[in-house]
């Protein structure tokens, strides 16, 4: 299964799925906001101070905006340019996971760890719904790999490069990029009782390397916020940008200093892993439990050839995120490389190499039933919600589903059958989702629809305004400029283009605002799918209707 030809087919198929995703419009809210801010940074040329629609921004560090703005400048303002940097870091994450695993396990396990990471649902999703977590994951697992190389080979260059990776990870999403490697190597050192590794002079050098790399971001924060205590940021004055990034944004969610709180519990991230780590989640949970039992049976003492990096890196990261008062599903993505290694070890050592059919067969049939349900859901999505998806696509989905059943019956006795049906399902489902479902869904996102219309018709962005309509960031990105807002009828002038709700048109007429209707359409927050929206018979009541008009 892991010969060169099969690997080429697997990784080419997964890359193709991601490249298809490049063509999907960028989704509001987060991904489109980051895209809009990256375009704004590119246009202004100010790379040290991060702004959002001209306003001071204090939430995410600047690295995503740096590399995205550079890519937009190089390739133009489009979907491909915005997504390319994150995809490259996703590739870095897969490669680094393989290299880290290869330091401790045989080649087949290392290859499996890379395949599992690259094919899990969250990984595929984050390559088109871009957030900081893709880049963070790449930097973190890269730094862990490099520092692990240093521990084994004693070459200082690996440690220095690893510390640089930590610093750039911190410039991507804060101290979590430092905390995760500490969790991973702290667990490994304690479980192997190598206490001498706790005290090494190189750590002082590492702190210096990290500090030097953080200077550009720190100086920008100091200039933008600490030097201006009079600024009102997130409703407060005397806000320190340095304190926010190095403490409040991460640790403040545990201590209560951060205003963000969605009352998430310790099981929130696990519940979301049930979908985001598909199709491997059941194997991961079992593999994690088995590895924990092994460690307990060994009285928390690992042999020289065992590693505690993956299990410690995942569990301690999960617990630290799980006690936070504010959590989102993608927060755990940073630990997915560790989960992939744990899963690969179980899949290869327990199920394939030892061919334990008493364990293997129940898992195989459980996955077969689960995947049948997923394929039936996909066929429903192809046939029911959107008229823009042709009937031919529905038949194609049915044919691929029948192919899945035939494949299963043919290979069910093979030691690789579980791996094959997992990959067949995740590649097949995401091909249909990225090619047909998401493009149809994005037809209901007014921001990208209107923004592309503005750009296509060469309407100056300083002549068109939002009036009583949501300020979607995708609008500004695709319009290639910041669209202003008018909040009252008195501000509306002759010659203005307006984006507003259709229900506002009679009010404008009643107040003497004659206009020409240029474009109309519908709007829906596509990242908040509901059954009523999916149901075409009930969708009408879920939609907002917009209009673009020109005031006479």
- Give 128-163 as a DSSP string: TS--HHHHHHHHHHHHHHHHHHHHHH--HHHHHHHH
Note the pLDDT of residue 434. Answer: 96
Place of tokens 């900081």: 132
What DSSP designation does 517 have?
A: E
- Give this prediction's pTM: 0.93
Smallest CA-to-CA distance from 57 within 241, 187, 229 is with 241
Round to whole Å and give the CA distance between 362 and 373: 17
The pLDDT value recorded for residue 399 is: 97
- The number of residues making up the chain comes to 552
List CB contacts of 235: < 8 A, sequence separation 6 or more.
none
Q: Render each residue's pLDDT in the chain as its tens digit; 552 residues.
A: 567 788 999 999 999 999 999 999 999 888 999 999 999 999 999 999 999 998 999 888 999 999 999 999 999 999 999 999 999 999 999 999 999 999 999 999 999 999 999 999 999 999 989 989 999 999 999 999 999 999 999 999 999 999 999 999 999 999 999 999 999 999 999 999 988 888 899 999 999 999 999 999 999 998 988 888 888 877 778 888 888 888 877 766 655 555 666 677 888 899 999 999 999 999 999 999 999 999 999 988 888 888 999 999 999 999 998 887 778 888 999 999 999 999 999 988 876 666 566 788 889 999 999 999 999 999 999 999 999 999 999 999 999 999 999 999 999 888 889 999 999 999 999 999 999 999 999 999 999 999 999 999 999 999 999 999 988 999 999 999 999 999 888 888 899 999 999 999 999 988 888 889 999 999 999 988 899 999 999 999 999 999 999 998
Give the pLDDT score at 199: 87
Whether 242 and 215 have beta carbons less than 8 Å apart is answered as no
Determine which helix (DSSP H) or strand (DSSP E) holds 87, and give its type and residue range. Answer: helix 79-102
Residues near 531 by Cβ (< 8 Å), separated by ≥ 6?
none
d(CA 48, CA 62): 8
- Domain ranges, ordered by start, for the chain: 4-352, 357-443, 445-551
Helix (H) or strand (E) run with residue 548 in it = strand 544-551
Could you give the count of Cα atoms lying within 13 Å of 41 in the half-sphere of its Cβ? 26
Residues 461, 454: contact at Cβ < 8 Å? yes
Helix ranges, 307-437 (H): 309-322, 336-345, 357-383, 391-411, 417-432
Cis omega (within 30 of 0) on the bond before 146? no
Please check whether residue 174 is in contact with residue 125, taking contact to mean a CB–CB distance below 8 angstroms.
no
Greatest C-alpha distance within the chain? 82
- Cα separation, 104 vs 173, in Å, equals 29
Are the C-beta atoms of 123 and 336 separated by less than 8 Å?
yes
For the beta carbon of residue 287, count every other beta carbon within 10 angstroms.
Answer: 24
Q: Tell me, what's the pLDDT at 361?
A: 85
Q: How far apart are CA 159 and CA 207, in angstroms?
A: 11
- Euclidean distance between CA atoms 48 and 407, whole angstroms: 54
Cα separation, 52 vs 69, whole angstroms: 13
Q: Which of 3.40.190, 2.40.128, 1.10.3470, 1.10.3430 would CATH assign to domain 445-551?
A: 3.40.190
CB 522 within 8 A of CB 446: yes
CB 1 within 8 A of CB 419: yes
The rounded distance, in Å, linking the Cα atoms of 291 and 313 is: 13
Sign of CA pseudo-dihedral 169, 171, 172, 178: positive
What is the C-alpha to C-alpha distance for residues 372 and 368, in angstroms, rounded to an integer? 6
């Amino acid at each position: 299964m892991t010969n060169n030809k099969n690997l080429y087919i697997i990784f080419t198929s997964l890359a193709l799925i991601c490249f298809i995703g490049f063509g999907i419009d960028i989704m509001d809210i987060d991904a489109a906001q980051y895209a809009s801010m990256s375009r704004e940074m590119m246009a202004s040329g100010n790379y040290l101070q991060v702004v959002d629609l001209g306003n001071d921004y204090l939430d995410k560090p600047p690295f995503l905006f740096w590399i995205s703005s550079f890519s937009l400048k190089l390739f133009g303002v489009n979907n491909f340019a915005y997504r390319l940097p994150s995809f490259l870091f996703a590739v870095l994450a897969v490669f680094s996971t393989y290299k880290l695993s290869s330091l401790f396990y045989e080649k087949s396990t290392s290859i499996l760890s890379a395949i599992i990471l690259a094919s899990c649902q969250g990984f595929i999703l984050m390559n088109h719904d871009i957030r900081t977590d893709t880049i963070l994951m790449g930097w973190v697992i890269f730094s862990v790999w490099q520092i692990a190389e240093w521990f084994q080979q004693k070459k200082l260059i690996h440690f220095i490069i690893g510390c640089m990776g930590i610093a750039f990870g911190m410039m991507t999403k804060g101290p979590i990029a430092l905390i995760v490697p500490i969790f991973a190597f702290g667990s490994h050192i304690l479980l192997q009782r190598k206490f001498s590794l706790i005290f090494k002079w190189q750590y002082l050098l590492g702190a210096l390397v990290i500090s030097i790399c953080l200077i550009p971001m720190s100086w920008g924060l100091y200039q933008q916020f600490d030097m201006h205590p009079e600024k009102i940021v997130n409703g407060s004055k005397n806000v320190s940008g340095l304190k926010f990034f190095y403490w409040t944004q991460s640790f403040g969610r545990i201590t209560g200093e951060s205003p963000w709180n969605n009352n998430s519990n310790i099981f929130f991230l696990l519940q979301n892993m049930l979908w985001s780590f598909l199709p491997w989640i059941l194997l991961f949970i079992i593999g994690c439990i088995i590895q924990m039992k092994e460690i307990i049976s060994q009285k928390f003492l690992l042999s020289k050839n065992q590693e505690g990096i993956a299990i410690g890196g995942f569990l301690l990261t999960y617990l630290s995120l799980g006690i936070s008062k504010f959590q989102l599903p993608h927060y755990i993505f940073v630990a997915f490389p560790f989960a992939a290694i744990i899963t690969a070890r179980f899949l290869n050592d327990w199920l394939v190499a030892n061919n334990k059919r008493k364990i293997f067969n129940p898992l195989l049939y459980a996955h077969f039933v689960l995947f049948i349900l997923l394929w039936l859901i996909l066929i429903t999505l192809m046939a029911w919600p959107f008229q823009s998806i042709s009937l031919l696509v529905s038949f194609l989905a049915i044919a691929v589903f029948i192919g899945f059943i035939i494949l299963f019956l043919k290979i069910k006795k093979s030691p690789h059958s579980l791996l094959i049906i997992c990959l067949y399902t995740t590649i097949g489902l995401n091909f249909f989702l990225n090619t047909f479902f998401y493009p149809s869904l994005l037809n209901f996102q007014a921001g990208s629809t209107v923004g592309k219309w503005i750009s296509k018709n060469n309407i100056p962005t300083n002549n068109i305004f939002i009036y009583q309509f949501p300020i979607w960031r995708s609008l500004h990105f695709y319009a290639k400029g910041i669209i202003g807002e008018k909040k009252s009828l008195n501000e509306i002038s002759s010659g203005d283009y307006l984006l507003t709700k259709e229900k506002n048109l009679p009010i404008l007429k009643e107040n003497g605002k004659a206009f020409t209707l240029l474009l109309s359409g519908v709007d829906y927050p596509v990242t908040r799918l509901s059954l009523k929206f999916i149901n075409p018979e009930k969708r009408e009541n879920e939609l907002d209707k917009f209009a673009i008009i020109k005031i006479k």
